Amino acid sequence: MKILITGKNGQLGQQLQKQAPSDIIVIAHGRETLNIADKEQVFAVLKEEKPDTVINAAAYTAVDKAESDADQANAINAQGPENLALACRELGIRLIHVSTDFVFNGKQSHPYQPQDQRQPLGVYGESKARGEEAVEAILPQAIIVRTAWVYDREGGNFVNTMLRLMNEREQLGVVADQIGTPTWAGTLAQALFALAKNPEAKGIYHCTDAGAASWYDFAVAIFEEGKAAGLLPQEKQVQIKPIATSDYPTPATRPHYSVLDKTRLVTETGLEQTHWRQVLRKVLTQ
């Protein structure tokens, strides 16, 4: 199987390249060789590469910046998936598109199902919802995989930001009233390959690690596991204070609750669910 990956330089793109099974040929493109917002380029590259499947890991993920940069967010998150879907339909290529928990408003208190109604709160979520809708309308047999709170060993993510701040400071305030699930990019990569290998898979799936946490819970775990892994000095003490969303205003409104139900993914792929804290421990130890 030949799989073309977009967004090769991002956290997910990197993990997809690292974790590719031996029976899959991976062709990875970054924005410099495949800008998904450029329709002509999308068609040209897919015609030349002739993949069996495209995994769209390219995304505009700067949630707060999107509020003042809507054109760029929509170009990558809405127009980009539409271009890929049109090209895949014409060329007979399968499409797996990666989306986000931000397509929901976060007002319910039980895990979101794949079929739940999209109600995004801001520009980033709206752009991702539009991308999903375009893929569904153009290519009904496509796969959409929503994820949340993604981190990896490298990159600008919550884990690396917290480790840096914990090394620098004695006190941190972290939001405690937003609930979701931390997800290692490697977990998501494994799920995407499992779906790519399943010819029956189509429609929307959810993929995160197991369990739920607030950003405050996540930060406390990063401190404890970071110390255990030797990434923070043993004598280092940091007071981590739980704060409310209202105490830390941001340009974009975030969903208060965005835990995703993974039942369909687990049932159809047989992938094991591991609690987010165990996964975090493994990643920090490595």
Residues designated as active site: 124
CA distance 275 to 112: 18
The H-assigned helical ranges of 169-253 are 185-196, 215-228
The span from the CA of 170 to the CA of 55, in Å, is 42
The first and second tokens of residue 81, run together, are 């998936």
Name the CA radius of gyration of the chain, rounded: 19
Please name the residue ranges forming H helices in 35-122.
Answer: 39-49, 63-66, 70-74, 80-91
> Which residue type occupies 92?
G
H/E stretch holding 236 reads none
Q: Pick from 276, 124, 262, 99: which is nearest to 186 by CA?
A: 276
Handedness of CA 215, 217, 218, 223 (dihedral sign): positive
Cβ atoms of 3 and 24 closer than 8 Å: yes
